Amino acid sequence: MDRLQAMASFVRVVETGSFSAAARQLGVGQPAISKTIAQLEERLQVRLLLRSTHGLTPTEAGLRFYERARLAIREADEAELEARGAGAGLSGRLRISAATTFARLLIVPRLPEFLSRHPDLDMEVILDDRVIDLVSEGIDVALRMGMLSDSTAVARRIASGGRSVVATPAYLARAGVPRTPADLADHDAVVYSQLSNSWAFRQGGTEASVVVRGRLRVSAAEGIRAAVLADLGLAVASDWMFGPELADGSVQRVLEDWTLPPIDLWAVFPTGRLASTKARAFAEFVAGIVNGEGAPAEDAELDERRSSRDHSQEA
């Protein structure tokens, strides 16, 4: 029994829900698929599928095997593409994950350019501010912001962006313009609930920290944007988040003679397998967007980060 072919048959059965549908897609007879799955179960000494009048349902062991088999098949496909020198013409499916606001503002508008370069490539973009498991979700590369010192995945820093205290002219006209970090204690702050409400600033050798007061706490960066644009208060945000508004003056920076810690943008790849050519190519494309076309990524090498948590953030 060809192990990879058997795994491919099993994956197709799970995804189609029947032996006959899988057989049609693979161009073989249904008895051949049934025999292959039976041999696979015998080899593994475990039941992979539950058969009933309602169709086929994978067992718990079958679901675990399906996830691993799907990744193994993808790795094999990538290995063939690499060996054939097909990296210049990417093909197949690329599944990426990114924070909603960052992707909406910077990445999605540029996707036509990336797809036009690779006409045989299909993309699936998962927009989610949460840190999701890359392996279980079948993600090829995730774009994440913030500190990844505790990440379990292999990560590459591709950019570092500035952060500012921002507000609309209408809010500043109503509440006044803060001149020092201490002035922020008298202002309404829109607080990103995934971060502390203690904001740290630096000016030369001087450091200042202030605990801001906020009647509004928001769990996603899109809410931070909406609240600031609704004149509800000021917020700390990456320059990426308010790029269009900072450019046209509808949002303004304050305390510009004080600096906040920058925020890093990472391309994160699943643990346990090599980053695919497609994933690396996309990471380079994003690096070109955020650093300026032709600019190199911040770090040329992959950094391995292994632990149980990921402190990424979008704001």
Q: What is the CATH number of the domain that holds 167?
A: 3.40.190.10
Q: How many CB atoms neighbour CB 133 within 10 A?
A: 12
Residue 16 belongs to a domain with what CATH number?
1.10.10.10
φ and ψ of 289, to 5 deg: -65, -50
Q: Are residues 172 and 217 in the same domain?
A: yes
Domain interval for residue 14: 3-81
Q: Of 24, 56, 81, which residue constitutes the final position of a domain?
A: 81
Q: How many domains does the chain have?
A: 3
Coil/strand/helix, residue 163: strand
Q: Are residues 60 and 171 in the same domain?
A: no
Q: Are residues 56 and 188 in the same domain?
A: no
Q: Of 214, 233, 254, which residue constitutes the final position of a domain?
A: 254
Residue 84: half-sphere exposure toward Cβ, Cα within 13 Å: 11
* pLDDT tens series, the chain, 315 aa: 688 889 989 998 998 888 988 888 888 999 999 999 999 999 999 999 998 777 788 999 999 999 888 888 877 776 776 665 554 567 888 999 999 999 999 999 999 999 999 999 999 999 988 887 787 778 889 999 887 754 556 888 999 889 999 999 999 999 999 999 999 999 999 998 877 788 999 999 899 999 998 889 998 889 999 999 999 999 999 988 998 999 999 999 999 999 999 999 999 988 766 677 889 999 999 999 998 754 444 443 444 443 334 445 566
Contact 252, 167 (CB under 8 A): yes
Q: Taking the model in full, what pTM does it have?
A: 0.66
